[in-house]
Structure 1
Amino acid sequence: MNSTPDHTTVTVLGLGRMGSALAAAFLAAGHPTTVWNRTPAKADALAAEGAVRADTVAEAVTASDLVIVCVLDHPAVQALLDPLAGSLTGRTVVNLTSGSPEQAREMAAWAAGHSIAYLDGGIMTTPDGVGNRASMFLYGGSREAFAAHRDTLAVLGDPVDLGADAGLASLYDAGLLGLMWSVFGGWLHATALVGADGVTAGAFTPVAVRWLTTVSLFMDRYAGQIDAGHYPGDDATIDVQLAAIEHLLHAGHARGVDGRLPELHRELMAKAAAEGNGGDSYARLVEAFRGR
């Protein structure tokens, strides 16, 4: 398959919901796309849209300059690629399979040993968000490969370059998912709290989203404090917030709302205050998560 400067040839290995969405985005952008899946029927819809269905993994990887892998897990990636290391030499592999930072670095070392350009990626969206330029795709690994294929990868979503460490995409992915679940948990707790007095989620949520914009400003400020290891309480100290959280706990208790989430925050704040750090900013609690 021949490629042009604007339409790099692409192979997608793995056609689950996410893999199929990736292949569809490449096709929609005009990239000659070869697809492979262990169950061939999963390629039917893509083939109808113009994708080339490969009968074997070997046929799939030799068809393109850029090989995208999106399968179940790291062992599945190894099982697919290990036997084809020689065929992949000189090509670029972008592994969008979920895994750990350690697994990503192991794959990067394997790729380097076979002269394969390697990028590890984190997909920060659902399949429906693939192809939306607002969706983030995180990448770590070969700087040369990222520069060469950035425009092609951009058809999936905004390609965020995390640098040469292939493990960082998986590490950011894990951290950002933790942040998402924490935000969801806080929002659901708050929605239950106000809902006990008849406020609908639809009425409360726009106010909550607006509040998160203000919260993000504090995050920016606190990031510098964390990096410096210095936590001046010049906005709202832990002592002040420790008093404020009692109002949340009281309101929840009075309404029968599960208080375990705010109780965790109170526990962390109370520990910091007991250690003599009550006059510091909330950012000080990063030390509790670090286990110090």
Structure 2
Amino acid sequence: MKTPVTVLGLGAMGTALARALLAAGHPTTVWNRTPGRSPELDTLGATRAATAAEAIAASARTTATAGAGGGLVVVCLLVDDTVRSTLDGLDLTGHTIVNLTNSTPEQSRATAERLASAGASYLDGGIMAVPPMIGTPGAFIFYSGPQEVFEEHRTALEVLARPAYVGTDPGLAALYDIALLSGMYGLFGGAQHALALITSAHIPAADFTQQFLVPWLTAMLTSIPNMARQLDNGPVDTADSNLAMQAAAYENLVTTAQKQGVDPSLLTPMGELLRRAVATGHGESGLSALVGLLRAAG
């Protein structure tokens, strides 16, 4: 018998997680604060619990029948406060809680401490996918916490997405998650600004994007591994495009935006960082030097 799993939270992502577990043959108990959410799960064989406590207890009973210990509980709620209000005061003894709710590293560590005090094992997770990707090869999920707990449940977790274990510190999955999301939003922000510029001149966005924007951004992404190598091993002696030159030219980006009637607020922070790099003696360096300035500011 495959591992029974309880899923707490049936938003779009929680529903996708439950659907993947059911498709893989895992007995799945579901609960949501709003009753009746995602009725299609009932037809797929899910057991619906009236309360979170009932859902967790059902998982424990089913697991015990299968000859194992406490149940596996996947939590996918809105925010960290919802996780706290849902789990606090429940009997979690012997259960493994896998928290896939988006959170900060500090919140993840605090949750791990609370649940350890409640007698539960804990894994924190960061989902790098949108709901339709769950259960497909393109999705992956970061996990952090005790490695033996991760290994114990790896087979069930692989049903959801490719698992990427990143360390025993419970906050690491959230850190990796937030780092990738930060990169994504930075990329999207630049693309959105580019599209605002182009459409301000009544140029069709789709053709510009297909012919120029996506190929350009794709080519620029190839420079990121070199930045990473310089951060790990030290910068090269000279940069192909130094920060002094980039800072001098950057003003044209802001001026053009203003002249085109486009808000430059997505651009101005990078310009300020470039000028600070030059002012602090990094004018001959490459873009990897900006990472050190960001860390120092923090």
TM-score (normalizing by structure 2) = 0.86
Taking structure 1 as reference, are residues 267 and 57 closer, same or farther at Cα in structure 2, changes over 3 Å only?
closer
* Alpha-carbon RMSD: 2.3
Structure 1 CA distance for aligned equivalents of residues 215 and 165 of structure 2: 28
What corresponds to 1:80 in structure 2?
Answer: 86
Q: For residue 41 of structure 1, give the secondary structure of its aligned residue in structure 2.
A: coil
Structure 1 CA distance for aligned equivalents of residues 57 and 256 of structure 2: 63
Structure 1 CA distance for aligned equivalents of residues 254 and 35 of structure 2: 55
**CA displacement at 1:50 relative to structure 2:** 0.7
What corresponds to 1:17 in structure 2?
Answer: 12
Is residue 66 from structure 1 mapped to residue 72 from structure 2 by the alignment? yes
Structure 1 CA distance for aligned equivalents of residues 220 and 47 of structure 2: 47
Match of 2:45 among 38, 43, 50: 50
% same residue: 45
What corresponds to 2:292 in structure 1?
Answer: 287
What corresponds to 2:95 in structure 1?
Answer: 91
- Which ranges of structure 1 fall in alignment gaps of 5 or more residues? none
The answer to which of 194-203 and 273-282 deviates more is 194-203
Structure 2 CA distance for aligned equivalents of residues 55 and 261 of structure 1: 46
The answer to which of 164-173 and 195-204 deviates more is 195-204
Structure 2 CA distance for aligned equivalents of residues 107 and 233 of structure 1: 46
Q: Is the 8 A contact 1:22 1:130 kept in 2?
A: yes
Taking structure 1 as reference, are residues 80 and 290 closer, same or farther at Cα in structure 2, changes over 3 Å only?
same
Taking structure 1 as reference, are residues 43 and 235 closer, same or farther at Cα in structure 2, changes over 3 Å only?
same
Is residue 270 from structure 1 mapped to residue 275 from structure 2 by the alignment? yes
- Which ranges of structure 2 fall in alignment gaps of 5 or more residues? 60-70
Q: For residue 119 of structure 1, give the secondary structure of its aligned residue in structure 2.
A: strand
Q: Output aligned runs, 1:1-292, within 5 Å.
A: 4=1, 7-42=2-37, 44-64=39-59, 65-85=71-91, 88-206=92-210, 207-228=212-233, 230=235, 232-292=237-297
Deviations 1:130-184, CA, capped at 9 Å, x for gaps: 2222123221112112112223222222222111111112222223222222111
Taking structure 1 as reference, are residues 268 and 38 closer, same or farther at Cα in structure 2, changes over 3 Å only?
closer
Structure 1 runs of 4+ aligned residues shifted over 6 Å read none
Deviations 1:21-47, CA, capped at 9 Å, x for gaps: 211111122211111122321253211
Matched residue count = 285
